[in-house]
Structure 1
């Protein structure tokens, strides 16, 4: 996602209030989904409203791919950069287990990685909030995108190699200033891999999917009888060669799962950590670092001016150019709202329109 897209997403659901309808009355949610889908051209559009006890409502309209079967509320959806909040929370889980520290610097977190001296004192939290000065142009350029899928090295070794390239020279961006880059979360993934001795994918399965009861979580485009991503109006067969970003980018944006399972993750932010994270760690993940716009915390934008949320609000959009996901979380009212589409270009405006419709229907 570009910074412009992020800021547009962060303002799309700004509302002055919400209706007093019961959250258990799902007719309003169904109507909101139908109205947006009828005015959109996306193959499928899905949505979810989550409460403190789990999903209150899920829905889907359209088809899994052009010419294919109908999409369902139980299908799997690619979350794109909304994976970042999971990677940040996974690091927080390791902090709670005494294996990581919120005070760590890159030099301490990656002591065996050769890096320019300027990086050694950069706090990990600054990396997590896109304020370390990392730029995707340093290691994730076109040449990498063209060759990464054929790299025979393990994903752990690939991420370590990317980290070495990222940190070999001085920051390409301005440290302390927000600069959105997937590189930040690939580096957080490499730190998680060093701590756990396992791939980020395995750490996700062990420390996040398993404890939260997420059974449909996976990486890359969903396989089998599931929705396909779309580009240029055409379905992208998940058995094809290019169905997602290279897998090494995983910590920044390759997770897929069902809406209901995504709701299990979002409940963590509605329930003071839900016993999976401590309230103290949850507070760190929800606290922006540094000045300037957008206010960014642990994988979340924290937009001001959201009176409907009755307190702190979290939001993030995600896309791999073939899918789109938009999420808003309002712990103060105990609700989270999700919109997903299997077409990034046509789904983005539909998702960003559906979110306010769902909020107004509570």
Structure 2
């Protein structure tokens, strides 16, 4: 159990600080948040610093909804966008740890009942995770799909299986071995997880990731209730509306939301060796490049080499559904992770990318 000393309030959130974290440090982090918020123009901005046991500081500034005097808090839920991908990859790592999957497994072995073009048969799932398999969203998840997917009456698992079939029925549209970011890669990973477990990806996330890590606020799609609203072109987007998030079939690629502290519980896995939730081997495989693409991409992470402040390579990823933004940097060498979140897809991007270096400098 971590030795705990100080209890401070930051924008309404109870922050429990481990021994050795001085109040001066908290003041510096608060100041970095104030500066980034003042310069960024986003309706709301939140920040977090994570250690091996979870969040050691959180803060939030601004409002939940533009034009409404309802302040955001560090306990609010934030949409994580594509930072969901690291969670989906970690779920596959758990299946490997449990003996239900292999890191060298090919697409044909993982989806034996799917008609696969010969060019895909021997492609390992790790190439899909690393965005170097040659998959392109335009094959099955282009504009036409985006315009009709929300009205699809099939189960989300059936929709993902149909997408997997469409992607794999034809040769790769891209160049295998070359990095090409595509949400379809992680929809395909989600379909594999559903094939192995026999359960929807959302259910596997709840039982195999949220629950064992103590994540109570995790959900899918835009947060609802007394929570921040996403913003597009400066306008608040009603979470109950039809376009408050991408189609839910894209879940494994980017629809998770949760509080900062709960996100910190997931990030701490990459700072404490997994803490028995993930094996050391799976953690290593998830954090090293999967292929030779540029930028080097691992299991839901870009691997940033040559980061002196990080004490070695850092892991980073941004996420956005165009209405929210999140930036995350994880530095295993210093046992710290840094997060910035905003409920605005445009102004929030600049604010998040200003906050991260501010927090790093203040640490």
TM-score scaled by structure 1? Answer: 0.93
Unmatched segments (≥5 aa) in structure 1: 1-19
Match of 1:186 in 2: 187
**Are the counterparts in 2 of residues 76 and 227 from structure 1 also a CA contact under 8 Å?**
yes
Q: How many residues are treated as equivalent by the alignment?
A: 343
Unpaired runs of 5+ residues, structure 2, are 1-19
Residues 286-297 of structure 1 aligned to structure 2 (within 5 Å): 286-297=287-298
- Where relative contact order (Cα < 8 A, 6+ residues apart) is larger, the structure is 1
Question: Per-residue deviation at 1:23?
Answer: 8.5
Specify the alignment match of 1:14 in structure 2: none
**Residue 53 of structure 1: aligned partner:** 53
* Residues 195-254 of structure 1: per-residue CA shift (max 9 Å, x gap): 110000000001000100000000000000100000111000111111000000000000
Which structure 1 residue ranges, 4+ long, deviate > 3 Å from structure 2?
Answer: 20-24
Question: Compared with structure 1, are the counterparts of its residues 179 and 299 closer, same or farther at alpha carbon in structure 2 (3 Å cutoff)?
Answer: same
SS state at 1:95 partner: helix
Aligned partner of residue 328 in structure 1, secondary structure: strand
1:134 aligns with 2:135: yes
Which residue of structure 2 lines up, in the alignment, with residue 70 of structure 1? 71
Task: Answer whether contact 2:306 2:312 (CA < 8 A) is retained.
Answer: no
Contact 1:50 1:336 in 2 (8 A): yes
RMSD of aligned residue pairs (Cα, Å)? 1.2
Distance 1:241 1:278 in 2: 40
TM-score using structure 2 length: 0.93
Q: Secondary structure at the match of 1:55?
A: strand
- Counterpart of 1:146 in structure 2 is 147
> 1:218, 1:138 → 2: CA distance?
28
SS in 2 for 1:332: coil
Q: Secondary structure at the match of 2:57?
A: strand
2-structure distance, mates of 1:192, 1:279: 21
What is aligned with 2:94? 93
Return closer, same or farther for 1:308/1:192 CA change in 2, 3 Å cut-off: same
Q: 1:23 to 1:182 in 2, by over 3 A?
A: farther
Structure-2 separation of matches of 1:290 and 1:164: 24
Does the 8 A contact of 2:129 with 2:290 survive in 1?
Answer: no
Aligned residues of 1:131 and 1:175 also touching (Cα < 8 A): yes
Query: Residues 136-285 of structure 1 correspond to what in structure 2 (within 5 A)?
Result: 136-285=137-286
